[in-house]
């Protein structure tokens, strides 16, 4: 209870970060009291009583679940997401819900209907997104760890921008049950924490088969801390020089420096060429909006969510509710998605994007089969940019170039801090591994840390 109270105090003192959307001290302290009881009666697990924050994309019974949208303002879910439930069963105490881009659409957390979250390193810099609240609160030390979701980079990019470690596991390893859907073939739960070791501890409790998620992978539970100290001797790290050299010079140098550390630890660097992966952005921005346009169809003002007050008939009610409830970015994606799925364009855009998606996945498969064990890449082309730096949506979409290819292939990816820019903002290094090799990914990051 004292630990929970200490974190709640810190959250209150740093409220100007706007990292949290819903904090209910009395509910958190009640969970903490339960944990204390278990500790006293000897029923505690090693994680009993450790505080954690949840991205407001996971539904929770005891805190509002809004996806940072007016559409779900004050919405209370009748059930907990599988990830939330599992972590609670493992002993974690929930500190509240973290801010994000509306329906996880964005790269800045400025798309939240409840105000932007600030980067603790620099209030003019974005914390990244969409899991900006989770990254910001871990970086500010007001939560030891926070759950997050990654559809096209939303764990790795904010972790990089805030100087913390974040892992997006293999698509299908964590359950999507109770995650407010954005793009179902890509949406993946994961964790942001201080280190790969902390990520390994929490992620081990999060992942596992769930029959309520039709794409859940049937694998037995895995303790991801086991391989943390395996080291990197002989590990073949794939280096896509063309990607690294495209980054800003400061970041480029920081990545090569990190790679030389790996070399000194016994890893072997091998040059690789990512070619099809360069088509990631256009493919992602067809598939993700297509799925979003379908998923967001459920918000019609009828069953739950926002309903307009004044309307003439049913159709008018639906139109007005959706117009009032959705912010500009979800609307933009619904329009793009509806367009690429419409008769006449479906084959030209959607089917074509699915075909190229397959080619990207095959390219990664071949590289991992023949050339290397992990890939080291930038997370983005630079450290966190300023809130006013990328005003048009297209430049934001283009900034996802290094994170979306791995997402399209369903691969696990991790971001770890690798130095600071001249402007004193953190740099991130991305590691990508073959499917279900989270242990290798975390061990590789841990060797550096």
> Of the two residues 99 and 151, which places its CB atom closer to ligand GLN in the complex?
151
**Overall residue count recorded for the chain in this entry:** 449
Residue 122: strand, helix, or coil: strand
> Of the two residues 68 and 93, which places its CB atom closer to ligand GLN in the complex?
68
**Looking at beta carbons, which residue is closest to ligand GLN?**
154
CA angle 28, 31, 37 (to 5 degrees): 140
> Of the two residues 104 and 196, which places its CB atom closer to ligand GLN in the complex?
104
CB of 179: closest distance to ligand GLN in angstroms? 11
> Of the two residues 153 and 301, which places its CB atom closer to ligand GLN in the complex?
153
Q: Which helix (H) or strand (E) holds 156?
A: helix 156-162
Place of tokens 């559809």: 151
Residue 55 among the catalytic residues: yes
Residue 77 among the catalytic residues: no
CB of 213: closest distance to ligand GLN in angstroms? 17
> Of the two residues 129 and 439, which places its CB atom closer to ligand GLN in the complex?
129
CB of 187: closest distance to ligand GLN in angstroms? 8
Please give the sequence-ordered ranges of beta strands (E in DSSP) within 275-398, or none if there are none. 374-378
In the set 69, 154, 195, 380, the catalytic residue is 154
In the set 130, 134, 136, 195, the catalytic residue is 130
Q: Which DSSP symbol is given to 369?
A: H
- Chain centroid, CA 386 distance in Å: 20
Q: Which DSSP symbol is given to 78?
A: S
232-to-175, 235, 271, 329, 445 alpha-carbon distances in Å: 30, 5, 17, 42, 9
In the set 55, 97, 168, 390, the catalytic residue is 55
Binding interface with ligand GLN (CB under 6 A): 104-107, 130, 150-154, 182, 288, 400
> Of the two residues 58 and 262, which places its CB atom closer to ligand GLN in the complex?
58
Q: Which region holds residue 208: left if phi is over 0, alpha if psi is between -120 and 50, else beta? A: left
CB of 20: closest distance to ligand GLN in angstroms? 19
CB of 335: closest distance to ligand GLN in angstroms? 15
> Of the two residues 408 and 418, which places its CB atom closer to ligand GLN in the complex?
408
Residue 56: strand, helix, or coil: coil
DSSP strand pairing (145-150 vs 188-193): antiparallel
Question: Omega into 130 within 30° of 0, i.e. cis?
Answer: yes
338-to-106, 110, 295, 316, 328 alpha-carbon distances in Å: 19, 24, 11, 19, 15
CB of 413: closest distance to ligand GLN in angstroms? 11
CB of 343: closest distance to ligand GLN in angstroms? 25
307-to-3, 75, 296, 326, 347 alpha-carbon distances in Å: 40, 12, 15, 11, 35
User: Rounded CA gap, 69 and 114, in Å?
Assistant: 8
Tokens of 138: 């871990």
Task: Give me the active site residues, please.
Answer: 55, 130, 154
């Amino acid at each position: 209870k004292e630990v929970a109270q200490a974190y709640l105090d810190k959250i209150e003192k740093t409220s100007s970060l706007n990292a949290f959307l819903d904090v209910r001290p009395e509910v958190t302290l009640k969970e903490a009291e339960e944990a204390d009881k278990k500790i006293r009666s000897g029923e505690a697990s090693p994680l009993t009583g450790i505080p954690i924050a949840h991205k407001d994309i996971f539904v929770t019974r005891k805190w509002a679940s809004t996806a940072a949208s007016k559409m779900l303002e004050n919405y209370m879910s009748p059930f907990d997401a599988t990830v939330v439930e599992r972590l609670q069963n493992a002993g974690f105490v929930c500190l509240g819900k973290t801010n994000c881009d509306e329906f996880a659409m964005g790269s800045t957390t400025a798309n939240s209907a409840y105000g932007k979250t600030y980067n603790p390193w620099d209030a003019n810099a974005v914390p990244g997104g969409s899991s900006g609240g989770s990254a910001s609160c871990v970086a500010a030390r007001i939560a030891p760890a926070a759950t997050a979701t990654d559809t096209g980079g939303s764990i790795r990019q904010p972790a990089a921008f805030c100087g913390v470690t974040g892992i997006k596991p293999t698509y299908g390893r964590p359950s999507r049950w109770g995650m407010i859907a954005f793009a179902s073939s890509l949406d993946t739960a994961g964790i942001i924490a201080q280190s790969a070791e902390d990520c390994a501890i929490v992620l081990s409790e999060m992942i596992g088969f769930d029959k309520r998620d039709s794409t859940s992978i049937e694998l037995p539970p895995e303790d991801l801390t086991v391989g943390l100290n395996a080291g990197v001797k002989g590990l073949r790290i794939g280096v896509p020089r063309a990607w690294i050299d495209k980054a800003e010079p400061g970041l480029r140098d920081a990545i090569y420096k990190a790679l030389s550390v790996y070399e000194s630890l016994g890893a072997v660097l091998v040059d690789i060429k990512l070619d099809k992966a360069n088509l990631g952005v256009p493919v992602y921005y067809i598939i993700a909006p297509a799925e979003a346009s379908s998923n967001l169809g459920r918000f019609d003002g009828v069953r739950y969510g926002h309903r307009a007050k004044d309307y003439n008939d049913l159709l008018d009610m639906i139109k007005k509710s959706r117009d009032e409830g959705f912010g500009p970015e979800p609307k933009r994606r619904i329009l793009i998605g509806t367009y690429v799925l419409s008769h006449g364009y479906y084959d030209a855009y959607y089917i074509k994007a699915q075909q190229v998606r397959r080619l990207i996945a095959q390219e990664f498969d071949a590289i991992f089969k023949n050339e290397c064990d992990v890939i080291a890449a930038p997370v983005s082309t630079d450290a966190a940019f300023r809130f006013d730096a990328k005003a048009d949506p297209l430049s934001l979409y283009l900034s996802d170039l290094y994170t979306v290819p791995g997402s399209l292939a369903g691969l696990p990816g991790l971001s770890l801090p690798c130095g600071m820019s001249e402007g004193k903002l953190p740099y991130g290094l991305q590691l990508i591994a073959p499917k279900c090799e989270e242990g290798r990914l975390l061990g590789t990051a841990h060797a550096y840390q």
